[in-house]
């Protein structure tokens, strides 16, 4: 094997890694993979052999020495300690100015720590969020790189080649310094949690109160996907409804246990939003609903104790029409919350994020791609100081057109015992955010009463404390 012959190295040849490296090779770059599992190494060599630009090894020295300088090595391994372990295993073989890219879902503070550590050793390191799943990795993901702009420029041609394209524009852009890339991907995943929860809630609503069967649900979601709700998650939901059970009669979705797992990025998004003081209740409840879903035995017991009555059956077409409007409303609110968090984090951490650019690279390749993102990109392009989509004139009209349907369905769901916390929280967030005065003055009075925490007044400057007894 000729040393220094390969343009790009990738550690971790699982489904994502294997597909990503084949994507690199398809775009006329020579790529070399590394994995400790000999079966994964052999599988990549077999699959990439016809391309002629792919090789792999289970020997780390062979892997590193095969790469051209400065070496560009991407890690697609699970977040956490394994990333640090891989870095330590690579270090003895690297040269000054080599580049390590973390393409996994690492927590952003870990990225900052690793960047500082490797900088002290003369090695460039940056995080790059990758969205799109296995299919995106193979055919074009959305990529969110941050960190050193100079280091990114070394990899930029490769990333632009492999990324998804929207109107011939690559869905990759430099996010900002430090851990900006991993942070943006984290919030992307938080938005993803919210949108998934909402699509599931409306499936439940249409199934229970509209009595739609899977064929009808497929038709409704397919129609929605042709309009303003066009999105990856609505599209795949439509496909899921028509998948037959391979092990028996009926449709597969009806046989799947209602316990949704999670890997933690949604929780990180919620926790950090609280840290920086940004409300994202739709995303918060999406995380909580996965936790509630895990309590299956308790839910079964509780359901027996609190049996619900019959559910009203509204006129089917009116229900579908209102559902489309209300889901669109809640989608807007979810994106608004996520973008608000990104805006605040940019100021808090010095990321210098372009929210318009972020929305643009999410238009294709990623899990939260949706027709809505074109308007979101335009809103932040037109007003670079915009903090919340609800303050955008374009989205003001969209909200006014759909909020009444959201209110009607919230009332209907509450009266009929149909859990729709994503929609409920979206509407409550909207009502609170658009209230010039909230009842939190009473909370401040309570805090001052029992803890002497003081308060401000609306009629004069200063900080006040009262003896309430």
Residues acting as catalytic residues: 185, 192
Q: How far apart are CA 308 and CA 419, in angstroms?
A: 12
For 225, 287, 316, 400, 421, the CA distances from 229, given in Å and listed in that order, are: 6, 22, 19, 17, 20
**In three state form, how does the secondary structure of 159-223 look?**
HHHHCCEECCEECECCCCCCCHHHHHHHHHHHHHHHHHHHHHHHHHHHHHCCCCCHHHHHHHHHH
**437-438-444 Cα angle (round to 5):** 115
Strand-strand pairing, 124-131 and 54-57: unpaired
Q: How far apart are CA 357 and CA 362, in angstroms?
A: 9
Q: How far apart are CA 61 and CA 222, in angstroms?
A: 51
The one-character DSSP state at 445 is H
User: Which tokens sit at 90?
Assistant: 């690579």
> Does the CA dihedral 155-156-162-163 come out positive or negative?
positive
Q: How far apart are CA 32 and CA 56, in angstroms?
A: 5
Q: How far apart are CA 368 and CA 122, in angstroms?
A: 36
The one-character DSSP state at 391 is G
**Dihedral in degrees, nearest 10, Cα atoms 389, 391, 396, 398:** 0
**310-416-327 Cα angle (round to 5):** 130
385: Cβ contacts below 8 Å, ≥ 6 apart: none
For 165, 360, 366, 368, the CA distances from 168, given in Å and listed in that order, are: 5, 12, 16, 19
Which is nearest to 147 in space by CA: 93, 99, 190, 197? 99
The one-character DSSP state at 27 is T
Q: From the CB of residue 408, how many other CB atoms can be counted at a distance below 10 Å?
A: 16
- In the block, tokens 């500082």 appear at 116
């Amino acid at each position: 094997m000729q040393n220094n012959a390969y343009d790009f190295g990738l550690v971790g040849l699982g489904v994502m890694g294997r597909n990503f490296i084949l994507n690199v090779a398809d775009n006329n770059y020579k790529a070399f993979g590394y994995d400790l599992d000999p079966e994964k190494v052999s599988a990549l060599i077999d699959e990439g052999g016809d391309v002629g630009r792919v090789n792999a090894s289970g020997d780390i020295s062979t892997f590193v020495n095969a790469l051209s300088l400065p070496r560009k090595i991407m890690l697609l391994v699970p977040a956490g300690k394994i990333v640090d372990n891989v870095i330590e295993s690579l270090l003895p073989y690297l040269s000054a100015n080599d580049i390590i890219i973390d393409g996994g879902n690492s927590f952003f503070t870990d990225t900052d720590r690793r960047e500082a550590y490797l900088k002290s050793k003369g090695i460039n390191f940056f995080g790059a969020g990758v969205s799109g799943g296995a299919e995106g990795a193979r055919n074009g993901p959305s990529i969110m790189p941050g960190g050193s702009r100079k280091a990114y420029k070394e990899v930029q041609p490769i990333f632009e080649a492999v990324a998804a394209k929207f109107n011939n524009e690559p869905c990759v852009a430099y996010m900002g310094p430090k851990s900006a890339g991993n942070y943006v991907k984290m919030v992307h995943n938080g938005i993803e949690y919210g949108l998934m929860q909402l699509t599931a809630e409306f499936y439940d609503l249409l199934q229970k109160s509209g009595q739609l069967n899977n064929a009808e649900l497929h038709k409704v979601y397919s129609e929605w996907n042709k309009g303003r709700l066009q999105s990856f998650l609505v599209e795949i939901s439509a496909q899921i409804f028509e998948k037959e059970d391979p092990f028996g009669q009926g449709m597969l979705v009806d046989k799947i246990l209602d316990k949704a797992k999670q890997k933690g990025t949604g929780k990180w998004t919620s926790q950090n939003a609280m840290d920086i003081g940004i409300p994202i209740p739709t995303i918060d409840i999406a995380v909580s609903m996965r936790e509630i879903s895990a309590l299956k035995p308790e839910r079964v017991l509780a359901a027996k104790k609190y049996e619900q009555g019959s559910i009203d059956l509204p006129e089917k077409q009116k229900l579908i029409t209102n559902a489309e409007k209300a889901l669109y409303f809640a989608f807007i609110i979810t994106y608004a919350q996520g973008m608000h968090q990104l805006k605040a984090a940019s100021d808090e951490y010095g990321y210098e994020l372009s929210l318009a650019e972020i929305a643009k690279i999410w238009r294709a390749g990623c899990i939260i791609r949706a027709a809505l993102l074109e308007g979101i990109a335009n809103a932040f392009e037109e007003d670079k100081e915009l903090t919340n989509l609800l303050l955008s004139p374009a989205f003001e009209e969209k909200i006014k057109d759909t909020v009444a349907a959201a209110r009607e369905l919230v009332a209907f769901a509450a009266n009929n015992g149909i859990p729709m916390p994503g929609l409920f929280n979206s509407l409550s967030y909207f009502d609170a955010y658009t209230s010039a005065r909230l009842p939190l003055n009473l909370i401040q009075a309570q805090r001052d009463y029992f803890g002497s925490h003081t308060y401000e007044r609306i009629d004069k400057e200063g900080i006040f404390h009262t003896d309430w007894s």
